[in-house]
Amino acid sequence: MTDDPRLHARLRALPAVDRLAAQLANGVLPTSAEAISVARAVLAERRAQLHAGADDDPDLIARARERLQPGMRRVLNGTGVAIHTNLGRAPLPLAAARAVADATHGYADLELDLAEGRRGHRDAHARELLRELTGAEDGMAVNNAAGAALLAVAALAGRDRPAIVSRGQLVEIGGGFRVPDVIAQAGARLVEVGTTNRTRLADYERALAAEPDPLLLRVHQSNFRTVGFVEEVAIEALCGLGAPVIDDVGSGVLTELPALTDEPPVRRSVAAGAALTCFSGDKLLGGPQAGILVGRAEAVEACRRHPLARALRIGRLPLAGLVATLALHRDPERARKAIPVLAMLDTPREVLDARAVKLADATGGELVEAVARVGGGALPLLELRGPAVAFGPPATPDPARLAAALRTGSPPLIARIADGRLLVDPRTLGDEELGHAAAAIRAALAATAAPR
């Protein structure tokens, strides 16, 4: 017990578990076990906060209802960032979402050969599609792109084998993922060549002459670019040196668009003769989180046999979504329309203008010119110009408060703040989402207009 009379009074003022549970259930009796469990957790949390000196007066019913929400919520992306890592990166195509739903219910032939009636391999579901789409001899999928890079180096360059990398490609990407750390964890020995901005073929040749049985690792810079006085070796020249090459091309360009010309296409790497090409499934490929390896049959098989492959294997739900997304890439024209990320990058200006006008008319916002981004570490210099709907002074004096109201609405709408105004970009909102976005904005404007 506490000797603080004020704290003691505040603790006694807390509602009983059954009372809070009944309020949470809107008076429906008997109160569900779920409501009782949530009420008990909220009250325990509140007691701990009071003992820690909290001086606020929160709405415990609102807290309890928030706990009843699913772990992840559907949100509306009004940021203009197509591949938004914080929002789950690429939204799945409808065909992929259906495939995931089908794989969710009941059982699936994940590792069963239906024709032979014996155990199969989960790689079989994506292998033929990967070969068809990339021209590679073999292919496999793991649970993410970082895992694909780690597995590739571990399988081909383990046991202190030298891995030769340009200094300009020793990059760090999101979450502190660093190429030198990957090489070290894979058991290889890093050999740096060239400089930060210029690496020539002769730099690789000297390293090859000095190192026994080396491996060449080429890493796409992903979320940054070096510009100006720069030079790097093309994948064709690198593969021509004779040593096996691992080429991490990053975002996974299988269907080309004018906006994607600065991203390395997977087919080019495979055609050049890379032993392994690694890329992501949930960026420009447009599917679920996955890492993909394609290349020479013996190199992919070495990855498949490596002990890390078990730890990095892809689950049945992302695999189902990945296979369905890959199938869309068979028809590039269909892919550009059916894969949301590609559709966002290829949306005609007149379509964006129509969406923006509709949203502005429904909310009282102002039409402005803005710049959207690809996101997800892809094409960091590309500016996607188009319309946005702005809310700012004097009509909306506090854009940050409006952004918070939008984030906590139902459904949450994520926007961005630029130049003192809140912007909602229609590029990342589908036509079917505009009505929901408009309603969310109207509700947030009303809430922030009220006295605090």
Q: Over the stretch 391-443, which tens digit does the pLDDT of each residue have?
A: 988 777 789 999 999 998 889 999 999 989 999 999 999 999 999 999 999 99
Which is it for strands 276-280 and 291-295: parallel, antiparallel or unpaired? antiparallel
pLDDT at 27: 57
pLDDT over 60 at 2, yes or no? no
CB 337 within 8 A of CB 331: no
- 263 vs 301: which has the higher pLDDT: 301
DSSP at 437 = H
Residues 6+ apart with CB under 8 A from 111: 119, 120, 121, 122
Domains and CATH numbers, the chain: 5-67 (no CATH), 76-85+341-449 (3.90.1150.180), 93-331 (3.40.640.10)
Residues 6+ apart with CB under 8 A from 310: none
Distances (CA, A) of 67 to 37, 82, 420, 444: 10, 29, 33, 21
Ramachandran region, residue 142 (left: φ > 0; alpha: ψ -120 to 50; beta: rest) = beta
pLDDT over 90 at 25, yes or no? no
Q: How confident is the model at residue 34 (pLDDT cuts 50, 70, 90)?
A: confident
pLDDT at 29: 47
Q: What is the mean pLDDT of residues 118-130?
A: 93
CB 38 within 8 A of CB 68: yes
Amino acid at 250: G
Q: How confident is the model at residue 175 (pLDDT cuts 50, 70, 90)?
A: low
Q: What is the mean pLDDT of residues 352-368?
A: 96
CB 186 within 8 A of CB 215: no
Q: What is the mean pLDDT of residues 189-203?
A: 93
Please name which of 14, 3, 6 lies closest in space to residue 46, comparing C-alpha atoms.
Answer: 14
Please state the three-class secondary structure of 1-68 as a single string: CCCCHHHHHHHHHCCCHHHHHHHHCCCCCCCCHHHHHHHHHHHHHHHHHHHCCCCCCCCHHHHHHHHH
Its pTM stands at 0.88
pLDDT over 90 at 30, yes or no? no
* C-alpha gyration radius of the chain: 26
Helices (H), 73-135: 94-104, 124-134
